[in-house]
Amino acid sequence: MRPLAFVDLETTGATAATDRITEIGIVEVDPDGTVREWQQLVNPGISISPFIEQLTGISNAMVADAPAFADVACETLRRLEGRLFIAHNARFDYGFLKSEFKRLDVTFRASSVCTVKLSRDLYPEHKRHNLDSLIERHNLVAAARHRALADAQLIHQFWHKIHVDRDTAAIAAALDLQHATPALPAEIDPGILDELPESPGIYLFYGEHLGKPETPLYVGRCRDIRQHILGHFVANPSSERKARLARSVRRIEWHEIADNTQAQLRENSLIRQLLPAYNRKPSRS
């Protein structure tokens, strides 16, 4: 069995670029079955809002004397390194850790598993797959909610549950589905898969067009940057035009913009400015 790390974070908000970690919870499971648990409050360096304080129970006073992430980065990395990173809505926790490590000029990469997606694949008869639904559905025991270690323990319990309910082949197929790699152009660094955020904003494709390199090809606006960018590189695109665009991409940019109106204005501005080859020409209005 591969060494595992069940991970949960509490944060000051939902955006990794601007919000920060307030608590880390990790349940480590070794190949021999040995289990270790670690919980650490983190001083985020910014204020915790009353809404987040009420949700998590973590106040500004509680983290005032806690170490900054920089002070616990080495310990965090040591506990995660070489382990399969398992979290509920894994892109959220993974993205926050990548952002925190990036601020320290440390590259963090790990193979990850999202238990939300795992639940959807293994229990398709159910509509809801948030952690509270899993607690009720599978009789998981919650020591607390919205505290990092307690939620990591719940994810660990769910992992045990699927290995009781489902056979090995079904679990392996669900895991393989999560690790399927889209057919990115050869010039695009596969490491981009670790960088793409699951947040709203705009994205830009650049590449070769009519013999000219580094041409603006496409500007898109979406609610999930990662999903939409990777959607351009599916195995069987719906049209030759889409296939041609995907083959031409050599560089990708994106900008997280939470406000839809601001994202739309930015998209329209870039289309008018860059005149991307695969966007419709902007109207005069």
- The per-residue pLDDT for range 53-108, each reduced to its tens digit, is 999 999 999 999 999 999 999 999 999 999 999 999 998 999 899 999 999 999 89
Confidence class for position 201, pLDDT limits 50, 70, 90: very high
- What CATH number does domain 192-274 carry, 3.40.50.720, 3.40.50.10420, 3.40.1440.10, 3.40.630.10? 3.40.1440.10
CB 159 within 8 A of CB 34: no
Average per-residue pLDDT in the chain? 93
Query: Which two tokens mark 189?
Result: 């660094």
Distances (CA, A) of 285 to 14, 174, 272, 282: 35, 48, 11, 8
Q: Tell me, what's the pLDDT at 237? A: 76
Domain boundaries, given as residue ranges, for the chain: 4-178, 192-274
Q: Which CATH architecture has domain 4-178?
A: 2-Layer Sandwich (3.30)
Confidence class for position 284, pLDDT limits 50, 70, 90: low
pLDDT at 234 over 90: no
- The per-residue pLDDT for range 34-57, each reduced to its tens digit, is 999 999 999 999 999 999 999 999
Specify the residue for token string 């601020």. 103
Cα distance between residue 253 and residue 257, in whole Å: 13
